Structure 1
Amino acid sequence: MSLRSPVGRVLGLGSAGDGVGHWWTLRVTSVALVLLGLWFVFSLVRMPDTSYASVTAWIAAPINAVLLSLLIGTMLYHSLLGVQEVVEDYVAGHGAKIVTKIVLQFVHFLLGALGIFSVLRIAFGSAA
């Protein structure tokens, strides 16, 4: 027989408390992706042609380079959050879960760095 109350027995066994923050981050990045995606689609539709010179000139414009970098970063961060949620829910082993999450973070970070580097390289005129 234990003298602890029912609340005392389950205290510390519940939620870690970060689920709401994760949920809100996904919602905020979703809204940002809708706005940035609309800008991207409308910008492409308004482009006179899709030749290499025209597209690189469009990317080289400062506002387009900044918004395109934000689109890439936000898209990959939103993707990382979503994929982490799937891993947490469906990968069974603790070690496999940690390794998978580390690999996913590395891949997403690498893709983001490559994407933003490509945009900046074009924007600063060093693309050949």
Structure 2
Amino acid sequence: MSLRSPLGRVRGLGSAKEGVGHWIAQRVSAVGLIVLGFWFVTAIISNVGGDYATFTRWLSNPGNATMMILTIGVSFWHMALGLQVVIEDYVHGGARAPSLIAVKLVSFALAAFGILSVLKVAFGG
């Protein structure tokens, strides 16, 4: 028998007071990807049938290069957030931390590679 009240027994249990920021980031990146996805599909359709020179001229426009960089960055950020949730839910034991680190590093490396590729094409490097 305990002398603690029902409120005292459950105090400290329940919400971990974290995770809301991650949830909001996933939703914001998803909405951003909807907008960027429409732009990307429109951009691809407008460049169908063009050659490399036409594409590089199109990508050298600062607005198009910026939108492409945003698409790449938000896509890999959203991917990393989603994979983090999957790993946290389904990977247990000692493989969790290395998996989370690998996802973050691979996502960052692929995003950096994509962004640098856009910059190289845009600036004619």
- Common fold: TM-score over 0.5: yes
Q: Percent identity?
A: 50
Deviation at 1:29, TM superposition (A): 0.7
Number of aligned pairs?
125
Paired residues for 1:6-85 under 5 Å:
6-47=6-47, 49-85=49-85
**Aligned counterparts of 1:36 and 1:7: Cα–Cα separation in 2:** 48
Unaligned runs of 5+ in 2: none
Unaligned runs of 5+ in 1: none
1:99 — aligned with what? Answer: 98
TM-score with structure 2 setting the length? 0.90
Letter of the aligned partner of 1:14 in structure 2?
A: G
**Aligned counterparts of 1:50 and 1:103: Cα–Cα separation in 2:** 38
Deviation at 1:15, TM superposition (A): 2.6
Q: CA RMSD in A?
A: 1.6
